[in-house]
Amino acid sequence: MDLAAKRIVVTGGAGFLGRHVVEQLVVEGANDVFVPRRSEYDLTQEAAVERLYREHSPDIVIHLAAVVGGIGANRDNAGRFLYENLVMGVHLIEHARHARVEKFVSIGTICSYPKFTPVPFHEDDLWSGYPEETNAPYGLAKKMLLVQGQAYRTQYGMNAIHLLPVNLYGPWDNFDPASSHVIPALILKCHEAIESGASSITCWGDGSPTREFLYVEDCARAIVAATKRYDAAEPVNIGAGFEISIKELAGLIAELMGFEGEILWDSDKPNGQPRRCLNVERAAAFGFRATTQFREGLQRTIEWFRNARDVTEETAVSRAKS
């Protein structure tokens, strides 16, 4: 698919993953990319979705927009996360059908996998059980978009594909402690402990769960490659093919941040899914392989965080003086 000749809409294109996808689309030759903002197009409202298609007539839609957070945010917003993620996708795919969109790229989540999926997760295991409870409403809402895309492919001939990225990290991640995922949360904890002189930080759970992490720029490459080259009904895992325990991760981030205090664990807080690591063989169909080494990616993320923090603090001081 020649992206230069296509009108492309990227929902969530101003977000963490989205801004990297938009950059990669431009690298790959796209010159007509539109990013709808919620202030103008609230995608939970069907009228706004219909207007988006009418006003921009996309050839390709890459649906990245999502309402999600870490374990605590998912637990505390179960109903809202289920509803908003489900209704956004349902409206976008249905109106893509009416608008005769050439290709719909749906971005799912590995929270859709069953709680005790055999490791490494294979796409065929998606339906072998119920998701981990704190992630289930979000994960199931996203999984329904896979079902919808496959159903529309069968009945209407829609070219809809579904990608399943593993946990992402990198520049522009969400560092809000109320909604962040584990890597930005740990970076922020270490930063604040160093600044305050605290002798310890406390992390959720017992540190035993494992996770796989993919650098966000690698994920953006995968999404654009699939947009260009993948046209099958089967979902595709997007990952790096390794796992690390949360306890090991916390130690590594503390080392890279220069925090030398104690890492404590609050076992009254939930662990989340016991293990996450993907089988990534299917992504070879469109030539994707992760290339960023984990330690290198963490160093880049920490550097970005520190630079962004410095800019924010300098701006606050400047405003206070004026």
> What pLDDT is stored for residue 311 in this prediction?
62
Q: What is the pLDDT of residue 317?
A: 39
Rounded CA separation 95/11 (Å)? 14
CATH superfamily entry for domain 3-321: NAD(P)-binding Rossmann-like Domain (3.40.50.720)
pLDDT of 205: 92
The residue from 53, 138, 169, 215 that is catalytic is 138
CA dist., res. 218 & res. 292, Å (int)? 7
Residue 156 annotated as catalytic: no
> Do the Cβ atoms of 35 and 260 come closer than 8 Å?
no
Does residue 57 come out as left (phi exceeding 0), alpha (psi in the -120 to 50 range) or beta? left
Q: Are 205 and 272 in contact (CB under 8 A)?
A: yes
pLDDT at 319: 44
| CA gap 129, 260 in Å, rounded | 41
* DSSP-based three-state secondary structure for 162: strand
Contact 220, 24 (CB under 8 A): yes
- Show the low-confidence residues of the chain (pLDDT under 50): 314-322
Strands (E), the chain: 8-11, 33-34, 60-63, 103-107, 160-165, 167-169, 200-204, 210-211, 213-215, 236-238, 244-245, 262-266
